[in-house]
Amino acid sequence: MFGFGPWELLVVLIIVIFFYGGKRLPQIGDGLGRSISEFKKAIRGEDSPGQGGKKQLEPEDPPKNSDKTGASSRD
Protein backbone atom coordinates (compact mmCIF):
# COMPACT_ATOMS: atom_id res chain seq x y z
CA MET A 1 0.00 0.00 0.00
CA PHE A 2 2.66 2.52 1.02
CA GLY A 3 5.65 0.57 -0.20
CA PHE A 4 6.94 -0.23 3.30
CA GLY A 5 8.62 -3.57 3.53
CA PRO A 6 9.54 -5.48 6.65
CA TRP A 7 13.00 -3.91 6.81
CA GLU A 8 11.69 -0.37 6.68
CA LEU A 9 9.18 -1.12 9.45
CA LEU A 10 11.93 -2.70 11.54
CA VAL A 11 14.12 0.40 11.19
CA VAL A 12 11.21 2.65 12.18
CA LEU A 13 10.47 0.44 15.20
CA ILE A 14 14.11 0.57 16.32
CA ILE A 15 14.14 4.37 16.02
CA VAL A 16 10.89 4.65 18.03
CA ILE A 17 12.27 2.36 20.75
CA PHE A 18 15.45 4.43 20.82
CA PHE A 19 13.58 7.71 21.32
CA TYR A 20 10.77 6.60 23.65
CA GLY A 21 12.10 3.49 25.34
CA GLY A 22 10.41 0.15 25.78
CA LYS A 23 8.34 1.20 28.80
CA ARG A 24 6.48 3.98 27.00
CA LEU A 25 5.56 2.01 23.87
CA PRO A 26 2.41 0.40 25.38
CA GLN A 27 1.22 3.84 26.54
CA ILE A 28 1.82 5.33 23.11
CA GLY A 29 0.04 2.43 21.39
CA ASP A 30 -2.91 2.67 23.78
CA GLY A 31 -3.24 6.41 23.25
CA LEU A 32 -2.99 6.04 19.49
CA GLY A 33 -5.61 3.29 19.45
CA ARG A 34 -8.02 5.35 21.54
CA SER A 35 -7.48 8.38 19.34
CA ILE A 36 -8.27 6.40 16.19
CA SER A 37 -11.35 4.90 17.86
CA GLU A 38 -12.65 8.33 18.92
CA PHE A 39 -11.96 9.72 15.45
CA LYS A 40 -13.97 6.91 13.84
CA LYS A 41 -16.84 7.51 16.26
CA ALA A 42 -16.82 11.21 15.46
CA ILE A 43 -16.87 10.50 11.72
CA ARG A 44 -19.89 8.22 12.12
CA GLY A 45 -21.60 10.70 14.42
CA GLU A 46 -21.88 8.33 17.37
CA ASP A 47 -22.10 9.90 20.79
CA SER A 48 -22.88 6.83 22.85
CA PRO A 49 -23.57 3.16 22.03
CA GLY A 50 -27.32 3.52 22.76
CA GLN A 51 -27.94 6.01 19.94
CA GLY A 52 -27.48 3.56 17.10
CA GLY A 53 -24.94 5.67 15.26
CA LYS A 54 -27.23 8.56 14.34
CA LYS A 55 -27.17 11.86 16.17
CA GLN A 56 -29.88 14.45 15.80
CA LEU A 57 -28.60 18.01 15.88
CA GLU A 58 -30.85 20.62 17.41
CA PRO A 59 -30.45 24.32 16.64
CA GLU A 60 -28.96 26.29 19.50
CA ASP A 61 -30.29 29.58 20.78
CA PRO A 62 -27.98 32.51 20.15
CA PRO A 63 -25.96 33.49 23.23
CA LYS A 64 -27.56 36.19 25.32
CA ASN A 65 -25.56 39.25 26.30
CA SER A 66 -24.97 38.81 30.02
CA ASP A 67 -22.94 41.98 30.39
CA LYS A 68 -24.27 43.72 33.49
CA THR A 69 -22.31 46.93 32.96
CA GLY A 70 -24.40 48.10 30.03
CA ALA A 71 -21.66 47.71 27.42
CA SER A 72 -24.17 48.30 24.62
CA SER A 73 -24.75 51.89 25.77
CA ARG A 74 -21.13 53.01 25.36
CA ASP A 75 -20.45 56.14 23.35
Question: pLDDT at position 28, please?
Answer: 85
Q: 3-state secondary structure string, 2-31?
A: CCCCHHHHHHHHHHHHHHHCCCCHHHHHHH
pLDDT digits (tens, 9 = 90+) for 22-71: 888 888 889 989 999 999 999 988 765 555 545 555 666 666 766 555 55
Task: Read off φ and ψ for residue 28, nearest 5 degrees.
Answer: -65, -45
Q: How many helices (H) and strands (E) does the chain have?
A: 2, 0
pLDDT digits (tens, 9 = 90+) for 3-15: 778 889 889 888 9
